[in-house]
Structure 1
Amino acid sequence: MQTPQKIAIVGSGLVGTLLAIYLKKLGHTVHVYDRSPDIRKINFSGRSINLVMSNRGWRALEKIGLVDEIKQIGIPVDKRAIHLPHEPLNYQYYGKEGEAIFSLSRGNLNKKMVDLAEQAGVVFYFNHKVWDVTLNTATLHEGEEERGVWNELKYDKIFGADGAFSRVRHRMQRQSMFNYSQEFIPLGYKELHIPANADGTHKLDKNSLHIWPRRNFMLMALANPDGTFTCTLFMPHQGENSFETLQDKSKLVDFFAEYFPDTKEVLPNLIEDFYRNPTSYLVTMKCYPWAFEDKVALIGDAAHAIVPFYGHGMNAGFEDITILMEKIEQYGDDWHTIFKEYQLERKPNADAIAELSYRNFMEMSAKTADAKFLLQKKIEKWFSEKHPEKWVPLYSRVTFSHQPYSEALAIGDFQNQIMEQIMQMPDIENKWNSEEVETKILNLLQKD
C-alpha cells in the first residue's frame, strides 16, 4: 500500500476516469477536473468513432472487476466485412475461433466509467477550466477565463489525461529538453448513422467491422447494442474525392451512388448527417519526457495521441494504467522511480502503436480489396494454424496478446519480409498451402 495522497487528474475521458478508479482504490483522494460539462447530461454525438476494446483494455478493466459491466454495453466483433462494388460481401476473420474485439460507443462507455468512478468515491469537477500548472508544486490554475482570475489548487500529484491538446503537457513543453511533435495527416473523418430496423434489429451483420475500402478513402461501420451503427467516413480534406469536393447535396448523393451504392438503403439520413456533423481532424502527437520529477505525469492521448486505424488509442491508454500500477506495486512510495520507469517502458511502445496505426489505414482502405494481400493473409493464417508456436500474425500480437507493441512491430516486420519472398514464388496462387511453401517459411524463420 502507498501513503495516501491528494491527487488531481485533468481530463474526465476514458483514461482519466479509469486511472481515477485505480488511484481511489489505492486509498488516495482523487479529484478529476474537466472543462466540459458532465458527459452524462449532454447529447454525445456528431464527432465520434466507435471504440474497439481488445485484450490490453480488458486486462486493465479485469484487475478492478469491471469486465462484465462493460461487456454489457458492447458487441463482440470477430471479423471484417469488406464491401466491394458489384462483388459479394467478403468476410475476413481477425483471429482464432472465439477471438473478438468489442464495439463500444465512446459516449456510452465514458458515461459508464464516470458513474463507476463516482461510485468508487472519486470527486468530479465539471465545467472547471484548467489553464496552467505549476509543475514543481503540483498546483493547478483554474478559472472561468484564460485571462481572468484563477484559483490555485494545490495537490501532491497531478496527472494530465486531457487529450492530444493537453494543457498539462503544454506547460511541460516549456521546459528545456522536452521533445514534442505533432503531425496532422491529410485525412479527416465525419460521423454518419445507420438506424435500426423498425423491430430494433441491425440492418447489417452486427458482429463485423464493415469496411468499404476505396484506396485513399473509406467508409466503416460498427454496431451499437440499440440496433444502430456508427459509421465513419475517412477522406482527404482536399483534392479529388475529398470533403472539399462534396459541398453540395447533389454531389454528395452522386458520390455515394458511385462509390458506396449498397449504402443507399441503410443510410436514409445521409444528407442530414453529412452536413450537420463536423469534419474532424486526425493527428499523431509524440513527446518526451512524460513526467516532471515526482509531481506530474502524462497519460493516454496527452502523452501519445495516435490515429484510430488500429483501434488502439483507448487500449494503449488503458495499458499505460496497467504498467503504471505495476510500477506502483513494485516501488511503493518512490514516485520518482515510478514515473521514471513508467515512461521508459511505455514510450517505445507508444511510438510503435503510432506507426502501426498509421500503416493500418493503408491495409483497411486499399489492401483489404487486393487479391494478392488477401492471399498473403490466407497463407499466414494457414501456416500459423499448423505452427502456432512459430507464427502469430501481427494483428493477433497487437490485439489478442499483451506483447509489447514495440516487439509486435519488430516481429511483424520480420514476418512481412518472409512473406514478401513467399509471394514471389512461381505459381504461389495454386500451391499456397503446399509442403514446398511450408518448408520455405520454416527455413526462412530459422535465419532469424
Structure 2
Amino acid sequence: MANKARWFSLVLLAFFFVFAFPIPIFGNSAYIALVITLILLLCSQEAVNLLTGLLRNRFLLLSLSLLVSLFLVSFITTTLHNEYDYVILRTMANNIFSLLGAAALSCLVYVWGSRKNIIDLMVHILFLQTFFILIMLISPEIRDVIQSLIRTDSQMERMATYNNVRGLGISGSVAFGLAITMGFLIFLLHYWVAVYKENLSSLFTFTIFIFCVLAALSAGRTAVLGFVIGFVFYLFSMSLKTLFSSSLKQLVIFLAIVTAVGLYIMSNEFLMEIAFLYSRYVFRFVWNYMESGSFEVNSLTALDKMYFIPPIQETLLGSGQYVTTYGTHYMHTDSGYMRFMLFFGGIISFFMYCAFILISFEAYTQVRDVMKYSGIFFLTFVFMSFVFQYKGEVVFFGVAYMKIFFLITFYFIILKKLKTESITANTIKPLSLPNSASI
C-alpha cells in the first residue's frame, strides 16, 4: 500500500513538473513540484547521495554549461544589437531550472519507484493527460471549469477557433508545446510496450493506443510524428516470426475496436457532433480535398510562407530581436529555424544545433549499457527534435519536451553508476531492466 501511495505521488509530481500549468494562488505547478521534490529528497539519505553524485556527472555538467552559455549568448546578442529584448532569457532560465529539477526528481523516482522505472512514470503521465483531454473533449462543463482556472482569456479566444477540440488538457502549453510533448510521450508508449510490456494483451494495447493517439492529435496534428516513428520502432523491435504471426490477430482486434467504437458514437447524437468537429480539425486535409479538391491545410501554407531569406547580416549574425513591441513574434514567424536565425544568426544557430547533438550523444554513451535500444532511442529523439523544429522552437526551447529527455537520461545514468560501482546487495535494490541492452 505504501509503495502504491509513493508511486501515485511520483506520478503527480512528474505531471506537475513536466506540464507546468498555472495553479491559482500557488503559482506554476513545476516550481511547486520542485519544492516538494527537494523536501522529500531531504528525507532520504539515499536520494541525497544519489543527487550529490549526479551533480558531478559529466552529462549534467556539460548540459548545464551549454544552457548557461546559451543564456549568456542570448543576453550578449540582443545587447550588442542594441535591441535589449530579454524576453528570450525567461525560456533559457526555465531550462536551467528544469535541468536541475529533472536531476532531483529522477533520484526520487529511483528511491521511491520500487520495481517501476522512469519509462513507466512517463507513460503514466501520458495516461493522466490523455484522461484529462478526453474528459474535457466530451464534457463542456468540465472543460470550462478547468480552462477558467489555467487559461488566459486570449488563450481561450485563440483555441475557440478550433471548435473546442484543441487546447484541452492540463498544461502550461496550449498548442504546439503540448503537441510535441504528447508526440514524445506517444513514442515512449511504443518503447514501453516493446521493451517492458511485451506480454500485454493485444486488446489492452490497442485500446490505450487509440485513446492516447486521439488525445495527442487533439493537442496538435504535429504529435502524429511521435506515433509514426514509435510504430516503426515497435515493428523493428519484433522478430519477423513474431511480427507475421501476430499481425493478422492484431489487425482483427484493431478493426473490431474501431467498428465497436464507431457504432457506439453513431448511435449517440452528442458524440457524433464531437466526432464531426474533431475530424474537421485532425483530418482537415481530407475535408479540404472533399470540399475543394486540394489537400492544402492553412497552417502548413502559412508555415511555408514564414520561411524566407533575410538580409545577409541577419542571416549570419541575427538581429537580437525575439518579439516586437506588441508582443508578437519578430517578423511574424514562429517556425523554429527562422526564429533562431533571426535572433542569433546562422552561425550561432549552427553551433546550437551541434551542441544539441553533442549532449544527445553524451547521453547515449552514458546509458547504453543499461538502456535497451539506447542508440535507436536517442537517434530518434534527435530526429524528432529537428523535424519538430521546422514548425516551432524545440531544440533547447521546448521546455516540457527537454524535461522528459533529461528525466530519462538522468534515471539511466543513476542505474549505470550503481551498476558500475557494484554496490553490495543489501544497499541496492534489484534493477528493473530489460533482459539485455543493445544498440
Higher RCO (CA 8 Å, separation ≥ 6 residues): 2
Q: Is the strand fraction higher in 1 or 2?
A: 1
**Normalised TM-score (structure 2):** 0.24
Q: Is the helix fraction higher in 1 or 2?
A: 2
**Normalised TM-score (structure 1):** 0.23
